[in-house]
Chains A and B, each alone.
Chain A
């Protein structure tokens, strides 16, 4: 393996998975900050109408669209797969790098390009698209929706580039897991982090083509005047040339991607949180095999639930019945995972470290968001709640706050390995409590607004008789909380920088963890990860508090007692 020499090959055009992971993560976080600012602008408008001068209805819809799209795809997907996947997979399975390092590098540069194209849409004539992150036609490309000239085109092109990037990365992650594991690393000895990312990657590879297909067909409708999705339309008093297209076809394609996407974000979070809980409770994960199979089942099932996003599209009742059943069935493996996390904590030697706080907070927000998902999975309950703040509360709890909490915990957990220094605990805990309580304060009240019937995607709620003053007051409260939480994120970012130079030296394995990434000869790991010899794995990743050993963890690299000469103890 050629050691990169210059600054450029080492940090910019790098083919080292660890550098690429950091590049991916930083880009994703920067994009995420843009989306966070957009959400603050929206909350200002909702809580304190007209307080932001340029926030008219158009700007609101543009902010809403970009907020959703960036958070789901350019932040969460990119950070979990491109960031954590890249850093963790080779280290955790004992490989020197991804199997196609050049392709891996290309994957990052395509991702960066997609982000640049997306951000460029803020500066094109007419601004970014305001079609909502689902980009439903016909409105997405018709006059009246903001950004129909350029915004929608940059959006679709950016998505197409992102999909190419994700595919290049995904081929790498899957092939690395399947073919580059070190000696002794059976599939059932891989940590759940790798399992989560692995299954999520397969899902991404199979689901993103649906988004690609819909993006390409919509581009055709917009640019070449085809009528794939566009029905006969009279727009601004004029009949357009479109005829006969099917907007529902777009919805099917979009959600065939869109629902697996939820789990593409959730499964890595599930995997990572399992490892955080196990390490910081000093206990093996409860029901490891069950956890693996639950991840696999959730992955499979998530491909047959997509139409639960379309209950109000006028579908055949039997169709809705089928999708309600599959949606509720997916709660079974999900509930198994929640029970197993709790049972891992049960009688564990719980260390309330910052990563553990985030992990426990995740269980709480995920249960809340998951339970409201059971409400919405039922057609009959969904129909009145559809397009209300109840839905906003649901998906922000389950796939906004929950995975973000895992990301905070995961960065905190692995930062010592990545940089060699610990993050600051005081800042970490302060950030944790503000974020955890703050996000509850934001999203919990939204359930009530939703049940009250308050529609989502409105930019102003004045002069509606059915919305009482108390709802407006609640809205102001939510907005105030949102601003507090948003500002508190500065603490975390500050911590990342401050600790990089001033943090406590971490040593190779500060948490006393068993998995391979903590057993590297150097911290941070150098190019090639393992020095002369690849590691050998003799056990699973969850030997914590094993009786008869001096320490409360046994690294995966340590041979089983029967493998060693008699009389020698660990």
Chain B
């Protein structure tokens, strides 16, 4: 009998026999979060597509965006910077900075939300209602959905910040929270910048 050979086996044309490193909680969570960003990115992009298709239907009246949106944008940027400081401090072991930076980062997000609600109440009082012109409807829809994602983020932020403030007992788990929260903050900032550009230019 001839030499036993795995007839069409892939070993004949050897595939790199790599062994995957044991993934840590952080790499796994980061992988999952990136997929989530893809999903949310598609969702917001589709809202943008719907927006630009609806825009051409004839009855569109450009909504003049309130100046407060610029202020809110600045808040969101500041929040992102603070979260990044928290992350970098954590990575470099400057733990005394982490808690305050996290609190500031979350605080700016809360201020952003308050600012968005301020814009909403102003528009409402000026008679721009959600069931008015589609430009206005989209404004409420898009800012509302973005705000909702910030609210959900704040939930996770509260959970993670609580762990950090309580101490080092679950240090590694807290690290995961800090990493994920700051990525999420950056992501929602990027989404907002895109949406803001769309809303402001049309």
A483 within 8 A of B: no
Count chain A residues whose beta carbon lies closer than 8 angstroms to a beta carbon of B.
58
CB distance from B49 to the nearest CB of A (A): 8
A179 within 8 A of B: yes
**A179/B23 in contact, CB under 8 A:** yes
In the bound complex, residues from chain B placing their C-beta under 8 Å from that of A548 are 1-5
Give chain A interface residues in 166-193, CB to chain B under 8 Å: 167, 170-172, 174-175, 178-181, 183-184, 186, 188-189
In the bound complex, residues from chain A placing their C-beta under 8 Å from that of B60 are 244
In the bound complex, residues from chain A placing their C-beta under 8 Å from that of B1 are 548
Pick from A183, A212, A241: contact of B20, CB below 8 A. Answer: A183
Give chain A interface residues in 260-311, CB to chain B under 8 Å: 284, 288
In the bound complex, residues from chain A placing their C-beta under 8 Å from that of B27 are 179
Q: Which of B74-82, B109-117, B129-137 contacts A (4 or more CB under 8 A)?
A: B129-137
In the bound complex, residues from chain B placing their C-beta under 8 Å from that of A188 are 10, 15
A429 within 8 A of B: no
Pick from A167, A175, A249: contact of B50, CB below 8 A. Answer: A249
Q: Which of B35-43, B166-174, B177-185, B191-199 contacts A (4 or more CB under 8 A)?
A: B35-43
**B28/A99 in contact, CB under 8 A:** yes
B71 within 8 A of A: no
Known contacts A100-B28, A209-B42; decide if A180 and B23 are in contact (CB<8 Å): yes
Pick from A210, A213, A546: contact of B7, CB below 8 A. Answer: A546
In the bound complex, residues from chain A placing their C-beta under 8 Å from that of B126 are none
In the bound complex, residues from chain B placing their C-beta under 8 Å from that of A560 are 6, 9, 11
Known contacts A186-B15, A226-B134; decide if A244 and B59 are in contact (CB<8 Å): yes
B19 within 8 A of A: yes
Known contacts A99-B32, A186-B15, A186-B18; decide if A547 and B5 are in contact (CB<8 Å): yes
**A220/B137 in contact, CB under 8 A:** yes
Pick from B9, B10, B57: contact of A246, CB below 8 A. Answer: B57
Please measure, in the bound complex, the distance between the C-alpha atom of A99 and the C-alpha atom of B50, giving whole angstroms.
35
In the bound complex, residues from chain B placing their C-beta under 8 Å from that of A172 are 32
B46 within 8 A of A: yes
Count chain B residues whose beta carbon lies closer than 8 angstroms to a beta carbon of A.
46
**B131/A241 in contact, CB under 8 A:** yes
Pick from B10, B137, B145: contact of A540, CB below 8 A. Answer: B10
In the bound complex, residues from chain A placing their C-beta under 8 Å from that of B38 are 205-206
Known contacts A209-B39, A548-B2; decide if A246 and B54 are in contact (CB<8 Å): yes
**A217/B2 in contact, CB under 8 A:** no
In the bound complex, residues from chain A placing their C-beta under 8 Å from that of B29 are 100
**B10/A212 in contact, CB under 8 A:** no
B47 within 8 A of A: yes
Give chain A interface residues in 193-245, CB to chain B under 8 Å: 205-206, 208-210, 212-213, 216-217, 220, 224-228, 241, 243-245
CB distance from B38 to the nearest CB of A (A): 7
**A171/B28 in contact, CB under 8 A:** no
CB distance from B67 to the nearest CB of A (A): 25
A569 within 8 A of B: yes
B162 within 8 A of A: no
Pick from B5, B6, B134: contact of A228, CB below 8 A. Answer: B134
**B15/A256 in contact, CB under 8 A:** no
**A175/B16 in contact, CB under 8 A:** no
Pick from A103, A220, A225, A245: contact of B141, CB below 8 A. Answer: A220
CB-based nearest A residue for B20: A181
Name which of A179, A256, A561 has the most chain B CB atoms within 10 A of its CB.
A179
In the bound complex, residues from chain A placing their C-beta under 8 Å from that of B137 are 220, 224, 226-228
In the bound complex, residues from chain A placing their C-beta under 8 Å from that of B32 are 99-100, 103, 171-172, 175
B93 within 8 A of A: no
Please measure, in the bound complex, the distance between the C-alpha atom of A288 and the C-alpha atom of B35, giving whole angstroms.
27
Please measure, in the bound complex, the distance between the C-alpha atom of A220 and the C-alpha atom of B131, giving whole angstroms.
9
**B31/A167 in contact, CB under 8 A:** no
A58 within 8 A of B: no
Please measure, in the bound complex, the distance between the C-alpha atom of A92 and the C-alpha atom of B130, giving whole angstroms.
50
CB distance from B2 to the nearest CB of A (A): 7
Pick from B43, B131, B134: contact of A213, CB below 8 A. Answer: B43
In the bound complex, residues from chain A placing their C-beta under 8 Å from that of B16 are 186
In the bound complex, residues from chain B placing their C-beta under 8 Å from that of A543 are 6-7, 9
**A284/B8 in contact, CB under 8 A:** yes
B127 within 8 A of A: no
CB distance from B68 to the nearest CB of A (A): 23
CB-based nearest A residue for B40: A209
CB distance from A395 to the nearest CB of B (A): 24
CB distance from A518 to the nearest CB of B (A): 18
A43 within 8 A of B: no
Give chain A interface residues in 550-570, CB to chain B under 8 Å: 554, 560-561, 569-570
In the bound complex, residues from chain B placing their C-beta under 8 Å from that of A396 are none
**A245/B46 in contact, CB under 8 A:** no
Give chain B interface residues in 46-69, CB to chain A under 8 Å: 46-47, 50, 53-54, 57-60
In the bound complex, residues from chain B placing their C-beta under 8 Å from that of A244 are 57-60, 134
**B50/A217 in contact, CB under 8 A:** yes
In the bound complex, residues from chain A placing their C-beta under 8 Å from that of B5 are 546-548, 561
Render B98-141 as a binary contact track against A, CB cut-off 8 A, 1 for contact: 00000000000000000000000000000000110010011001
> Beyond A226-B137, A539-B11: 20 further Cβ-contacts under 8 Å?
A103-B32, A175-B32, A179-B23, A205-B38, A206-B42, A220-B141, A224-B130, A225-B130, A225-B131, A227-B134, A244-B57, A284-B7, A540-B10, A542-B8, A546-B4, A547-B4, A548-B3, A548-B4, A549-B4, A561-B6
Residues of B at the A interface (CB closer than 8 Å) are 1-11, 15-20, 23, 27-29, 31-32, 35-36, 38-40, 42-43, 46-47, 50, 53-54, 57-60, 130-131, 134, 137-138, 141, 145
> 29 A-B Cβ contacts within 8 A?
A99-B31, A171-B32, A174-B35, A178-B31, A186-B10, A205-B35, A209-B42, A213-B43, A213-B47, A216-B145, A220-B130, A225-B130, A226-B130, A227-B131, A227-B137, A228-B137, A243-B59, A244-B134, A245-B57, A245-B134, A253-B50, A284-B7, A539-B6, A546-B7, A547-B7, A560-B11, A561-B4, A561-B6, A569-B4
Among all A-B residue pairs, the 6 with the closest Cβ atoms:
A548-B4, A244-B59, A225-B131, A209-B43, A226-B137, A183-B19
